[in-house]
Amino acid sequence: MWLVVRFGATPGKFVIKARIIRNNGKYLNWGQAFLRMLIPGIIISINSHLLEWHAITTCPSGTHVNSFMEMGRVLNKYGQPFTAIETFLEIIIFIDILVILFNKKKRAIHDFIAGSYVITKKSLFPKP
C-alpha cells in the first residue's frame, strides 16, 4: 500500500509504466489504497493463510510433502472449509475481470470501491 500512496503504483504497475490515481489526478490516500487492495489482496491472503494453518493442524503427524503437487493434495484434503471460500473468492475475481472487459474506462470493482483509475504514466506526466 505504501508504494500506491507514495508513487501511485504497485511493482507490476511500475513495470508497465502505469499509475493509480484519484479522479483529481493525485495518488491515492491511505484509506483509498486500503479499499483498493482489500478484495484482491488482503482477503485472499488471509484466506490462504487460514487454509494452510488448518491443513497443517489437521493433517496426521508424519505427513511428508515432497513436491508442490503433494502440497496441493494435502491442502485440498485437510484445508476444508477454506477451499470453498477460496473458490468463492476466485469467482469474484472472475466477475471482476468481466467488469474490466465490459466498462468503457476499464475499471475493476476495487477501482469503483476506492474511486481510483489506472492510467499510463505518459498520460499523467505528458512531455511539453
Residue with the larger pLDDT of the pair 13 and 50: 13
| Number of separate domains in the chain | 1
In terms of residue numbers, what domain contains 62?
A: 2-124
Q: Is the pLDDT of residue 25 over 80?
A: yes
What is the per-residue pLDDT across 51-68, written as a single tens digit (0 to 9) for each? 778 777 888 877 777 787
Query: How far is the C-alpha of 71 from the C-alpha of 75, rounded, in Å?
Result: 6
Q: Please, are residues 30 and 38 in contact by the beta-carbon 8 Å criterion? A: no
Its pTM stands at: 0.66
Q: How many CB atoms are closer than 10 A to CB 35? A: 17
